[in-house]
Structure 1
Amino acid sequence: MVRKTREEAEKTRKQIVDAARAVFHRCGVSRSTLEKIAQEAGVTRGAVYWHFKDKAELFFAVREDIFVPLLERTDSILFSEAYGDPLDAIQASLQEFFRVLDDCAVVREVFEIMILRCEYVQEFAGVQEEVNRPAIDFLAKIERMYVRAAERRTLRAGLDPFAAARDTWAFTSGLLHLALECRLEENLATNIGQMIVSHMALRRA
């Protein structure tokens, strides 16, 4: 009985998170209310409050729902021993990230919410540091890989690994905004893949 109750609670929580993602994406975060989310989920507002103390906590639950598995996936490539050259690992990890972004509508929706449909003001003014944490973590990860590339002499001579990491960090951020804001053409994923290859080629010894 306890297990069934726990499973039901988890099912309700997932309904609320899925509903919040849909409402945030459709209305924008600032115009979304817990009442709208409850209606979308088919639950009471009290049920929403039972699982989440406020809209900000629900916002982060929507993010973590896709960020955790996505980061596990890209990190497993980035730190894989299968790549003798750390630059190959960076390239493969970036390509996988954008492939998932292109293939998975839910992942794309969440990134559109985070970047295009949320104003970090009023009740969200204090959450931006936490929102930016994955990007800061990403920079630290690729710095490690560029340092390894320098040690293995696969990084172009004279190129500072930390400067190279920041350049790739800025490049990836720009590419992400481009992919979300400008759908460009149907073969966007192919174009992005080649752009990543070209970017990394400039860093190779």
Structure 2
Amino acid sequence: MVRKTKEEAEKTRKDIIESARQVFHQHGVSRSTCEKIAKAAGVTRGAVYWHFQDKAEIFLAMRADVFAPMVERTDAILFSDSFANPLDAIEASLKEFFRVLEDSSIVREVFEIMISRCEYVDEFASIQDEVGRPAFVFLEKIERMYRRAGDGGHLRPGLDPLATARDTWAFTSGLLHLMLGCQKGSELDQQIPAMITAHMALRRKG
């Protein structure tokens, strides 16, 4: 009986998160309320507040549900021992990131919510740093790999690992914004792997 109750509670929590994603995506975060989320999930407002303190906590839970498996997936490639050249690992990891965005409507919706459907003001002003933290973690990881590439003689001479990582960071962010601004299945989606290959080619030792 206790196990069933825990399973039911976990299902309710997941239903609330999934409904919140749909409500956030449809109405925008600022126009979404816990009442709307409760209605979409088919639960009471009390049930929402039993699982989450406020809308911001639901937002962070929604993001974590998508980010955790995606980071695990791309990190497994980035730090894989199967790549002798760290630049190959960076290229493969970036391609996997955008492949997931292309293949998963849920992942794409969450990124669209964070980038274009959320105003980080009022109650959300306090979580802006938390939302932006993964980008800085990404920068640190990429810099680490560029330093390995430099140490291994794979990086083009004259390139500073930190500056090169920042360039890849900006490139990835720009590509992400462009992709989310285009309709799914657009020509840009098909060109992204080649664009990543071209970007990485400029960093390789000739």
Q: Under TM normalisation by the shorter chain, which class is it? A: over 0.9
In the alignment, what sits opposite 2:95? 95
Deviation at 1:186, TM superposition (A): 2.9
In the alignment, what sits opposite 2:174? 174
In the alignment, what sits opposite 2:112? 112
Q: How does 1:1-205 map to 2 (within 5 A)?
A: 1-183=1-183, 186-205=186-205
CA distance in structure 1 between the partners assigned to 2:92 and 2:190 by the alignment: 14
Q: What's the C-alpha RMSD, in Å, of the aligned pairs?
A: 1.0
Aligned to 1:194, what secondary structure does the other structure show? helix
Aligned to 1:127, what secondary structure does the other structure show? helix
The number of aligned residues is 205
Does the 8 Å contact 2:182/2:188 carry over to 1? no
Does the 8 Å contact 2:102/2:184 carry over to 1? no
CA distance in structure 2 between the partners assigned to 1:176 and 1:27 by the alignment: 22
Aligned to 2:158, what secondary structure does the other structure show? coil
Deviation at 1:182, TM superposition (A): 2.5
Per-residue CA shift, 1:30-55, capped at 9, x if unaligned?
00000000000000000000000000
Per-residue CA shift, 1:41-73, capped at 9, x if unaligned?
000000000000000000001101110000000
CA distance in structure 2 between the partners assigned to 1:183 and 1:171 by the alignment: 20
Q: Percent identity?
A: 68
TM-score by length of 1: 0.98
Per-residue CA shift, 1:81-116, capped at 9, x if unaligned?
000000000000000000000110000000000001
Per-residue CA shift, 1:100-133, capped at 9, x if unaligned?
0011000000000000100001111111100001
Letter aligned with residue 7 of structure 1: E
